[in-house]
Amino acid sequence: MIKPGNVCLLAFAVLGTLTAFAQNDQPGYFIRGEELFKQKQYYEAIQYYEKFLNTEIKITPRSQPFAVKKKTPGKSNLNIHNETVYHLAESYRHINNYTLAEKWYKQAMTFSGAAYPECAYWYGVSLRANQKYEEAFNVLSGFKASHSRMDPLLTGVDKELENLKFINNQLLKEKDDFFITREQIPDHSSAYGLSISQPGKIVYTSVKDDPNNNLFLSHLYETGDREGSLERGKPLSIEQEPGIHNGLATFSKDGKKIFFTRWITRNGVNYSAIYSAEKADTGWTKPYPLPSPVNMEGSNSAQPFLTADGKYLLFSSDREGGVGKYDIWYARMDSNFNALLVTNAGNIVNTADDEVTPSYHQYSRTLLFSSNGHIGMGGYDIFSAKGDFQLSNWEKPVNAGKPVNSSKDDLYFISTDEDNLWNTGWLSSDRATDCCLELFGIRQDNAQYVNGKVIDCDSHQPLTGVRLIIKDGGQNGKELIRQQTDVNGGYGFELRNISRLEITAEKEGYQSATENFTLYFDAGTNRFTNNEICLSSSAPEEKELITGESVVLAKFSFNQSSLGGSSFYDLDSLVAFMHANPSVIIEVGGYTDGKGSSAYNLKLAQKRVDACIQYLVNKGIRKSRLVGVAYGECCPLVPEQINGRDNPEARQVNRRVEYKVIGEE
């Protein structure tokens, strides 16, 4: 059925070419393509435009295309062949198929520049997306020289030329800092937006054909195999609705609360909101949209990310009060995950264009997001910005550069290393396809050379021939290396992409000891010297402890949370006491010196507590018997200043973990 607005167009077309088209549907192909194009249904429009051009080739020479009268700037007589070619190029661009967009824009470049004033700009953008950087520079420079009107295209071409300068600098790099690995999932048209569901599960967004509705819908998939292939992912058991997309989930630390995006597409436009659900014994509850101020009437909210401490929900939104189109916003959450106040990340992070897919690395205090407004490789690029939520004070965003970013769209970056931001992670990109986002694993190109020494706890002499078992101290606990100490009690080994390690030392006639280390590094080669591991030749004495009496359990070097030295002797003594008193519950309290901010010291104290608790758990103590508390700098044993002068020895005493009996099971 032909819409009323197209009757006049069709009449002129048919009258002008009645004989040539008597036996074909060519005019109808063009008209239907135009209808779909205006409705932003670009995939469908492409089918009709290409049918029109294929029919045209068979039936009538292009030198004599039919025409209609239409008042369009630069087009006194609308050439339907030219219009089809240009709109075909536009359609391919809108679905991110820059390979075919380039092909048709190149043909459209032979048409009247007055009729298609934007053609050179988008042709240059397509060339850049297809990594034809020199050609893109020439085309865009020519466009800038001829385009005098102050409009978004003039601003856009300036940014594109700056992007090309940035790309050129990236290409001069001798070596990339990252390895990027494509993760292909058979039977899925697209996969993107990976997140971690605790404990130990991966959730991602994927697109498969819906045979019931003949639609491509996004759904959430889950797999418990964090180290293996994502092919084993199964649909997340959350209630679905016909024709509705679900995507990008984020979870509370215990995995019992989910936030995700739900959206619908009408006339080529997405309408989105953030939904939530709780995990009950019977499965996920019915999802519900978050109330104001997260979802706002008349605007879109999408791509939620809950910080590791559960205090902030980040998301992107085009609501009023922002800096540009889509901005990064964040909501302060109460203990029940209710949003208290929504804040814009400000004009350092946000631009006049789009900022989307935020995440946050807790330890490094770094905001991650994608932007097509900041200078980069083109399309959406991944950026990082250190800052503070409470003050909304963010440093200037830094482009991650290649190969993390490409000439196409790069989004949804998430770090999978709690300690080192860029060590390992995932991103979503269409760099390897002509249409769709796929998942890519990131691994930093780094090497850690670790060395240390094992000594006798009593004599402090080096111990030779100590058996060492080195394991990944992360969640997988994988054994990495076995070796023995040399004649000087020393050891050394090389690691890659390992932030946490556990070393167990064993020698006949000695109590075994296990030490945990955290390594902080950047790309390249890093060298670390561990604290000494000491082994005791005598069995630990059982201690009698009075309820409420605090005893120092471990001491720490400045700014460190790894165990070492005589701490293992005291820890083993506590292990023996707790085995002898199996109903006792203890508090493990962590303290720091007064250097640094209170917030930082609380985090450091917690890491020291965690290191001690992990050691005790490894020795067979149930975690339910251990209550960890981070006290930070609150309670020095001795003053850290004497007559106004710093007292380093006192600060060393105050850097400690204590324990005390607080009850029984």
- pLDDT at res. 563: 80
For residue 45, what are the contacts with CB-CB under 8 A and spacing of at least 6? 33, 34, 36, 37, 87, 91
Reduced to 3 states (helix: H, G, I; strand: E, B; else coil), residue 312 is strand
For residue 212, what are the contacts with CB-CB under 8 A and spacing of at least 6? 242
Q: E strands, 347-445, where? A: 355-361, 366-371, 381-388, 393-394, 398-399, 410-415, 424-429, 438-444
Q: Would the pLDDT of 361 be above 90? A: yes
Average pLDDT over residues 462-486: 91
- Structure-token match 């104290």, residue found: 605
pLDDT digits (tens, 9 = 90+) for 601-646: 999 999 999 999 988 998 889 999 999 999 999 888 888 887 778 7
What is the reported pTM? 0.76
CATH of domain 178-444: 2.120.10.30
Query: Which of 214-223, 271-280, 526-535 comes out lowest in average pLDDT?
Result: 214-223
Contact between 540 and 577 under an 8 Å Cβ cutoff? The reply is no
Chain centroid to CA 193: how far? 8
Let me know if the fold of 4-116 is the same as that of 541-665.
no
Average pLDDT over residues 479-501: 95
Helix-helix angle 152-171:119-129, to 10 degrees: 20
pLDDT digits (tens, 9 = 90+) for 77-101: 678 999 999 999 999 999 999 999 9
pLDDT digits (tens, 9 = 90+) for 419-470: 999 999 999 999 998 888 999 999 999 999 999 999 998 899 999 999 999 9
CATH of domain 541-665: 3.30.1330.60
Q: Would the pLDDT of 136 be above 50? A: yes
Listed by start position, the domains of the chain span 4-116, 178-444, 446-538, 541-665
- Edge to edge, the sheet with strand 424-429 lists 178-183, 438-444, 424-429, 410-415
- pLDDT at res. 453: 96
What is the token pair recorded at 509?
């006639």
- Structure-token match 């556990």, residue found: 502
Task: Give the model's confidence band at 544: pLDDT under 50 very low, under 70 low, under 90 confident, else very high.
Answer: low
Q: Would the pLDDT of 331 be above 80? A: yes
User: What is the spatial distance between Cα 305 and Cα 514, in angstroms, rounded to a whole number?
Assistant: 36
Task: Give the model's confidence band at 6: pLDDT under 50 very low, under 70 low, under 90 confident, else very high.
Answer: very low
For residue 599, what are the contacts with CB-CB under 8 A and spacing of at least 6? none
* Homologous superfamily in CATH for domain 4-116: Tetratricopeptide repeat domain (1.25.40.10)
Reduced to 3 states (helix: H, G, I; strand: E, B; else coil), residue 606 is helix
Residue 513: which region, alpha, beta or left (left: phi > 0; alpha: psi -120 to 50)? beta
CATH 3.40.50.150 fits 446-538, yes or no: no
